[in-house]
């Protein structure tokens, strides 16, 4: 039980990567706050909680739009009131809203930056306030708190037709590194996970037909699509004391996507 007695808020945990991270952390003893954005994802969040409880874990569901400041402040205040503190934040909530650049509306730009980047800022700020207030409690962890930013291979791989998304992920990298530099002296660890192509609803068009999957696999040296559990395991490690000396790092979990396999027989 690597996360025993720790409280973990996982944003965007009603599906995809967030769901797997919540289940993995709960199986290691964390009490998980399964965040979901709107009423229409409440049933999915509840289903994740049901799985957690059936497996003997602990948790709650909590609605909050991470791009809304008051919502985020309310979520942290409520969780701290109910459980006493927060030990782990997984800044996972993310959306894609793709468009050729010349047609990209300001709404599409703002929506993606709002959830993916501003959402991470707002949640990290509340988490860090709480970590600073509490300090280290060695009965639970060697550090005062852990933040895991869910980034993407697209924090370094440019992505045509996804300027809003790629920009948000590039921004997350610099937010993460800056927070790590600022708060490592306070024993707060901030790191990122950069998933490659993970089989979730966000990229269904890239794996739902054999043709699409085959062309996706050309980009993945390890020749399989990632599973949400691949990210769940990495998140547990980054949140646990097993990674206590890891500060400000991007952990690529991508089957080698960032090895630029197009250069294997070219260039």
Which are the catalytic amino acids? 165
Question: Should residue 12 be labelled a site residue for ligand BGC when binding is judged by CB under 6 A?
Answer: no
| Alpha carbons 200 and 206: distance in angstroms, whole number | 10
Closest distance between ligand BGC and the C-beta of residue 111, in Å? 15
* Residue placing its CB nearer to ligand BGC in the complex, 6 or 151: 151
* Site residues (CB under 6 A) for ligand BGC, limited to 145-174: 152-154
Q: Do 97 and 105 touch, CB atoms closer than 8 A? A: no
Beta strand spans in the chain (E): 7-10, 31-36, 58-63, 88-91, 145-150, 188-195, 250-253
In which region does residue 232 sit, left (phi positive, over 0), alpha (psi from -120 to 50) or beta (all else)?
Answer: alpha
Question: Should residue 197 be labelled a site residue for ligand BGC when binding is judged by CB under 6 A?
Answer: yes
Question: Should residue 189 be labelled a site residue for ligand BGC when binding is judged by CB under 6 A?
Answer: no
Choose the binding region for ligand BGC from 68-76, 140-148, 202-210, 244-252 (rule: CB under 6 A). Answer: 202-210
* Residue placing its CB nearer to ligand BGC in the complex, 13 or 26: 13
Choose the binding region for ligand BGC from 16-24, 106-114, 131-139, 198-206 (rule: CB under 6 A). Answer: 198-206
Question: Should residue 79 be labelled a site residue for ligand BGC when binding is judged by CB under 6 A?
Answer: no
Question: Should residue 104 be labelled a site residue for ligand BGC when binding is judged by CB under 6 A?
Answer: no
Question: Should residue 206 be labelled a site residue for ligand BGC when binding is judged by CB under 6 A?
Answer: yes
* Site residues (CB under 6 A) for ligand BGC, limited to 27-66: none
Q: Which two tokens stand for residue 61?
A: 């569901």
Number of residues that bind ligand BGC (CB under 6 A): 9
Residue in 42, 39, 34 with CA at minimum distance from that of residue 17: 34
Pseudo-torsion of CA 79, 85, 90, 92, nearest 10°?
20
| Alpha carbons 62 and 70: distance in angstroms, whole number | 14
3-state secondary structure at position 3: coil
3-state secondary structure at position 204: helix
Q: Do 71 and 82 touch, CB atoms closer than 8 A? A: no
Choose the binding region for ligand BGC from 66-74, 124-132, 194-202, 240-248 (rule: CB under 6 A). Answer: 194-202
* Residue placing its CB nearer to ligand BGC in the complex, 113 or 206: 206
Question: Should residue 68 be labelled a site residue for ligand BGC when binding is judged by CB under 6 A?
Answer: no
Residues lying near ligand BGC in the complex (CB under 6 A): 96, 152-154, 196-197, 202-203, 206
């Amino acid at each position: 039980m690597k996360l025993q007695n720790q409280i973990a808020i996982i944003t965007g945990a009603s599906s995809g990567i967030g769901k797997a991270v919540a289940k993995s952390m709960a199986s290691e003893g964390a009490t998980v706050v399964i965040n979901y954005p709107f009423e229409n994802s409440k049933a999915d969040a509840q289903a994740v909680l049901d799985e957690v409880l059936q497996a003997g874990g602990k948790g709650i569901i909590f609605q909050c739009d991470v791009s809304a400041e008051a919502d985020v402040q309310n979520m942290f205040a409520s969780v701290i009131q109910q459980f006493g503190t927060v030990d782990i934040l997984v800044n996972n909530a993310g959306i894609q809203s793709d468009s050729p650049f010349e047609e990209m509306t300001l709404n599409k730009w703002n929506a993606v930056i709002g959830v993916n980047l501003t959402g991470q800022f707002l949640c990290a700020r509340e988490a860090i306030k709480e970590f600073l207030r509490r300090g280290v409690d060695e009965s639970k962890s060697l550090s005062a708190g852990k933040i895991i930013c869910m980034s993407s291979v697209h924090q370094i791989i440019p992505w045509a037709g996804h300027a809003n998304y790629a920009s948000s992920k590039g921004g997350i990298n610099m937010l993460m590194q800056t927070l790590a530099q600022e708060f490592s002296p306070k024993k707060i660890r901030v790191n990122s996970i950069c998933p490659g192509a993970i089989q979730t609803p966000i990229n269904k068009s890239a794996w739902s037909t054999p043709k699409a999957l085959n062309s996706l696999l050309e980009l993945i040296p390890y020749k399989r699509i990632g599973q949400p559990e691949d990210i769940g395991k990495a998140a547990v490690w980054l949140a646990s004391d097993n990674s206590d000396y890891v500060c400000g790092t991007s952990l690529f979990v991508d089957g080698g996507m960032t090895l630029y396999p197009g250069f294997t027989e070219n260039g």
